[in-house]
Amino acid sequence: MNSKSSLVGDRFPHEFNCAQTVFSLHADELGINEKTALRIASGFGGGMACAETCGAVTGAYMVIGLKHGHHTGDAEAKAHTKQKIQLFNEKFKAVHGSLICKELTGYDISTPEGSEAATEAEVFTQKCPGFLKSACDILAGEI
């Protein structure tokens, strides 16, 4: 576990969503302030509010984009970014089996009923922190 992974519990689930947690933990090294990172990532939690791609994953994509993203039409730079995303995906799926929030949690948290059931099952305190820590650990590796 890296230093960012150890900070997950300070932010999630009580302060910020999953995407905000991963992205904001990297804000300093990315050259943006934490408030800006939190605002950018705010709409990506809960699988983009529809229990699709996990917020830990989308938060990691934002980190990868700021670190390695292309900003010109250069095909090689574009391919490099895509390769980094694919590598992240492979590593995350190897640990957790999916990138999809409702598959990872076992609940469709985009609905009030699903969110309530997930809360009662302690998914946000028992399962989700592991996804966040994995995302941070993967990012700390070769990505």
Q: Is the pLDDT of residue 112 over 70?
A: yes
- What tens digit of pLDDT does each residue of 45-73 get? 999 999 999 999 999 999 999 999 988 88
Is cis: bond before 13, omega within 30 of 0? yes
Q: What is the pLDDT of residue 105?
A: 98
Q: How would residue 1 be classed by pLDDT, with cut points 50, 70 and 90?
A: low
Q: Is the pLDDT of residue 139 over 90?
A: yes
**Measured distance CA(49)–CA(131) in Å, rounded:** 17
Contacts 24+ apart (CB under 8 A), 64-69: 64/88, 64/139, 64/143, 66/26, 66/30, 66/31, 66/32, 67/30, 67/143
This prediction's pTM: 0.94
Q: How would residue 88 be classed by pLDDT, with cut points 50, 70 and 90?
A: very high
End-to-end CA distance of the chain: 15
Q: Per-domain residue ranges for the chain? A: 3-140
User: Percentage of the chain surpassing pLDDT 70?
Assistant: 99
